[in-house]
A and B are shown apart, each in its own frame.
Chain A
Amino acid sequence: MGETDWKSRVISFSYSLQAKIIVSVLAIVLLFVLPGLSGWTIPWMGKITFSWMQLFYGVLSLELALAVYTWGVGNWSRFEPPPHEPDSGTPQKSDAGNTQVAPRPGGQ
């Protein structure tokens, strides 16, 4: 039971860490790729008249605001209780097969 609990914590943590790393890497890639669209003509938008630096500034600003929102307002900032509290005194169902993951409201 203790081992399963520990493993489930590690798996849950590594999944969330993986997601965060992927998003961070994607943000860095987009920061340098999107400004490369400067001067391109996009069929439904027309020609992008902003320079590379202007697009870089725009993407950086947007990413920063979104990062603050995601960490501060979105669910990434939330404290999630551990799935089992061995000494909490509350009754726990000893169902080791059902690895519990902390609830995430809002369709996560």
Chain B
Amino acid sequence: MLSLIETITGFAAIMLMLSLLVKTLTSVFKNYLDYYSDNLEHEVKRLVLETTGKTWDFIRDSKDTPGPVKNIMKEIHWDRLGDEFLNPEYLTWFLQQLDKNAVVSDLAARLRIHVANVKYTFEMRMKNLALAAGLGLCLLCNINAFTIWKSLYSDQQLRATFADKYADKATTLAEAQAKAAPQADAAKPADAGNPAEQPNPKPTKDQLDAQLKDFRQNMQGFLTDVSFGIGRIWREECLRLKEEDRRACRKEMSEQTAKMRLEARGVRNSERMAEVEKIQDADAKKREKQKAIDAWNAEEKADSDAAALKLAQERKETQSSPAILVYEFFGSLLTGIIVSIGAPYWHDILQALSSLRSTGKAKA
């Protein structure tokens, strides 16, 4: 029972780390591409269409529209505007400027709907962005939840490390990130959807660069810590559709490797022999020559052991190439989906499991 709890704890810790990475990546995208301004612009244009019956572009390009109004329309910098643009007094004036015949009624109520739309759409877009970023990251790096689970469940030492030290590290990082986020809930790490709470801040270039650097460092750290269940599809040397092609490729690769090793051994041996030839004393020369022969034999044995080990691993490998592709694809897809649900969920699960684990340990 304890091993199952430890497996889930380790798995939750890894997923929490990945969720934090996805959150940072989402934040990078959000800051580079201003989705909030885009939503605001969309809603204002919808309001214009609903009120005047004409599209924004039509009014802007129409010959009947006065020059100053056209200038106002062209010079609006949506990225500098926030919700304050959607206030009844200003928009009544603005809509009447766009169309003198427009009857602006119930604007306050309609604006409330448009503001709610801006916020809701922004939130939904952020959730979808987190899903796209999570899927992209997990699929391209081939982070497979099935293999991670299997490795944790079958390796006791790995399980203990990830359920203990790594879980603490993930929790600390999540809490530090939650504290760093200005409007985040103090008890929970910030959600991927939470940028909606602070929708339109304008980060500087330095902040963006720092965020990107932070993501790169965290990603490297993650790949160093979690070396299992990641990137198998890219490491496989002979991923071929047909089994015969795969066998032929493996044979060719092993022959190539053996040849390269032999050449490398030969070079090292000639260097050693050249050193031996420089020795004047006959006894010392004999001793050094014997040492060189022993070294050659030891290297030869090590190479043949490595080749045998690789061969044994390949024989143990029962999955065909298409099966590997399907397994890795769906494993990575699942990882992408589960890490996109957000860091707070994994944080809560991890905390609950950690307390359960310590209780279990105390009882044992």
B236 at the interface (CB under 8 A from A): yes
A-B contact pairs, 13 of them (CB 8 A): A53-B322, A61-B140, A62-B140, A65-B135, A68-B131, A73-B125, A81-B49, A84-B53, A91-B52, A102-B55, A103-B45, A105-B45, A106-B41
Residues 76-108 of A at the B interface (beta carbon under 8 Å): 77-78, 81, 83-85, 88-93, 95, 98, 100-106
B214-222, B302-310, B324-332: which lies at the interface: B324-332
Asked whether, in the complex, the Cβ of B54 is within 8 Å of the Cβ of A98, the reply is yes
Q: Distance (Å) between the CB of B42 and the closest chain A CB?
A: 5
Asked whether, in the complex, the Cβ of B140 is within 8 Å of the Cβ of A58, the reply is yes
Interface of A toward B, CB cutoff 8 Å? 50-54, 56-58, 60-62, 64-66, 68-69, 71-73, 77-78, 81, 83-85, 88-93, 95, 98, 100-106
Q: Distance (Å) between the CB of A36 and the closest chain B CB?
A: 13
Q: Distance (Å) between the CB of B100 and the closest chain A CB?
A: 11
B129 at the interface (CB under 8 A from A): yes
Asked whether, in the complex, the Cβ of A51 is within 8 Å of the Cβ of B239, the reply is yes
- Nearest CB in chain B to that of A63: its residue: B139
Which single member of B56, B103, B121, B332 contacts A103 (CB below 8 Å)? B56
- Nearest CB in chain B to that of A67: its residue: B132
**Please, which residues of chain A bring their CB within 8 A of the CB of B140?**
58, 61-62, 65
B250 at the interface (CB under 8 A from A): no
Q: How large is the interface on B (under 10, 10 to 19, 20 to 34, 35 or more residues)?
A: 35 or more
Binary contact track B46-79/A, C-beta < 8 Å → 1, others 0? 1011111111111000000000000000000010
**Please, which residues of chain B bring their CB within 8 A of the CB of A50?**
234
Asked whether, in the complex, the Cβ of A100 is within 8 Å of the Cβ of B53, the reply is yes
**Please, which residues of chain A bring their CB within 8 A of the CB of B58?**
98, 100
**Please, which residues of chain A bring their CB within 8 A of the CB of B238?**
51
Q: Distance (Å) between the CB of A41 and the closest chain B CB?
A: 19
Asked whether, in the complex, the Cβ of A54 is within 8 Å of the Cβ of B234, the reply is yes
Q: How far is the CA of A72 from the CA of B48 in the complex (A)?
A: 25
- Nearest CB in chain A to that of B52: its residue: A93
Q: How far is the CA of A102 from the CA of B35 in the complex (A)?
A: 19
Q: Distance (Å) between the CB of A12 and the closest chain B CB?
A: 12
Asked whether, in the complex, the Cβ of A56 is within 8 Å of the Cβ of B325, the reply is yes
Binary contact track B127-140/A, C-beta < 8 Å → 1, others 0? 11101110110011
Asked whether, in the complex, the Cβ of B132 is within 8 Å of the Cβ of A85, the reply is no
Asked whether, in the complex, the Cβ of A78 is within 8 Å of the Cβ of B49, the reply is no
Asked whether, in the complex, the Cβ of B46 is within 8 Å of the Cβ of A81, the reply is yes
Q: Distance (Å) between the CB of A72 and the closest chain B CB?
A: 3
Asked whether, in the complex, the Cβ of A100 is within 8 Å of the Cβ of B54, the reply is yes
Asked whether, in the complex, the Cβ of A52 is within 8 Å of the Cβ of B52, the reply is no
- Nearest CB in chain B to that of A80: its residue: B46
B293 at the interface (CB under 8 A from A): no
Q: Distance (Å) between the CB of A59 and the closest chain B CB?
A: 11
Q: How far is the CA of A85 from the CA of B51 in the complex (A)?
A: 10
- Nearest CB in chain A to that of B235: its residue: A54
Q: Distance (Å) between the CB of A96 and the closest chain B CB?
A: 11
Asked whether, in the complex, the Cβ of B128 is within 8 Å of the Cβ of A73, the reply is yes
Q: How far is the CA of A81 from the CA of B125 in the complex (A)?
A: 19
User: Top 8 nearest A-B pairs by Cβ distance?
Assistant: A72-B128, A61-B139, A103-B45, A65-B136, A92-B53, A105-B41, A69-B132, A68-B132
**Please, which residues of chain B bring their CB within 8 A of the CB of A92?**
53
